[in-house]
Structure 1
């Protein structure tokens, strides 16, 4: 089953939580899903989805 990671990050942002890029190559991102205060990691995924790479761009987190 394919997961829409962009939609997932948008929902995460809309709920007031934080996501952070914890790994990056030219074609892959690893993203940590954090609590609302950004203090605790509650999930993580790695993806090579071009839509996700475009959505995140050069940002390190949704706080950028």
Structure 2
């Protein structure tokens, strides 16, 4: 199971990197990352970011729900 997860993670990472490389990088770039957040954090923050036209990467930890 761990090998499957690692393979899927690698595949998604490589695909995401390839797709990102096709888009031009904006002059002003800010990277938002939310590490070890809860689902509720993601749900609240994602709505606010979407309202103002921003995106982010969320790392939701399984045990934190």
Q: Return the TM-score normalized by structure 2.
A: 0.25
RCO comparison, higher one (Cα < 8 Å, 6+): 2
Q: Return the TM-score normalized by structure 1.
A: 0.25
Larger Rg, first or second structure (1 or 2)? 2
Higher helix share goes to which structure? 2
